[in-house]
A and B are shown apart, each in its own frame.
Chain A
Amino acid sequence: GAGVSQSPSNKVTEKGKDVELRCDPISGHTALYWYRQSLGQGLEFLIYFQGNSAPDKSGLPSDRFSAERTGGSVSTLTIQRTQQEDSAVYLCASSLVEKRTEAFFGQGTRLTVV
Chain B
Amino acid sequence: KQEVTQIPAALSVPEGENLVLNCSFTDSAIYNLQWFRQDPGKGLTSLLLIQSSQREQTSGRLNASLDKSSGRSTLYIAASQPGDSATYLCAVKSGGSNYKLTFGKGTLLTVNP
Show the binding face of A for B, using Cβ within 8 Å: 4, 6, 31, 33, 35, 41-43, 45, 48, 50, 56, 91, 93, 95, 97, 99-100, 102-108, 110
The residue of chain B having its C-beta at the shortest distance from the C-beta of A107 within the complex is: B43
Task: Summarize B's interface: helix, strand, loop or mixed.
Answer: strand
Chain A residues, Cβ within 8 Å of B65: none
Mark out the residues of chain B between 33 and 89 whose CB falls within 8 Å of any chain A CB in the assembled complex. 34, 36, 41-46, 49, 51-52, 89
**Contacts A42-B106, A105-B43, A106-B43 given: A93-B101 contact, CB under 8 Å?**
yes
* Cross-chain contact A42 with B103 (CB below 8 angstroms): yes
* Cross-chain contact A100 with B51 (CB below 8 angstroms): yes
* Cross-chain contact B36 with A105 (CB below 8 angstroms): yes
* Cross-chain contact B99 with A42 (CB below 8 angstroms): no
